[in-house]
Amino acid sequence: MSTLKFEEGRLLQVLVAPIVSEKATLVAEKSNTVTFKVLQNATKPEIKAAVELMFKVDVKGVSVVNTKGKTKRFGKSVGRRDNVRKAYVTLKEGQELNLSGEAA
């Protein structure tokens, strides 16, 4: 496990929420990968350290996707959804992450 020189308080804030969707479930079953919504300014090493710290697992790699927020209309007013940064965290062989007990 590689916990580099990051403050623990910052690492606890990096992971915003696990993403539970059809695509995330397919990816998880196929390649032992977990999907998280992360802070907009989170780096890959920070995300890796945060997952290893919080879940006590070994991380093989981290891929990141930035999704621009869509413009939506609510009657007359025009609003905008937030930009989302998703992290696909691949775990090493034999590692498993149990999210069911976390967010109830």
Q: What is the DSSP letter of 103?
A: -
pLDDT tens, residue order, the chain (104 aa) = 444 577 888 888 889 999 999 999 999 889 989 999 999 999 999 999 999 888 888 999 999 999 999 999 989 999 999 999 999 999 988 877 766 554 43
| Domain containing residue 62 | 8-91
CA distance 50 to 64: 14
CA distance 92 to 70: 35
CA distance 19 to 60: 19
Domain count, the chain: 1
Residue 18: Cβ-neighbour burial (10 angstroms; 0-12, 13-18, 19+): middle
CATH (domain of 45): 3.30.70.330
pTM of the model as a whole: 0.81
Could you tell me if residue 101 is inside a domain? no
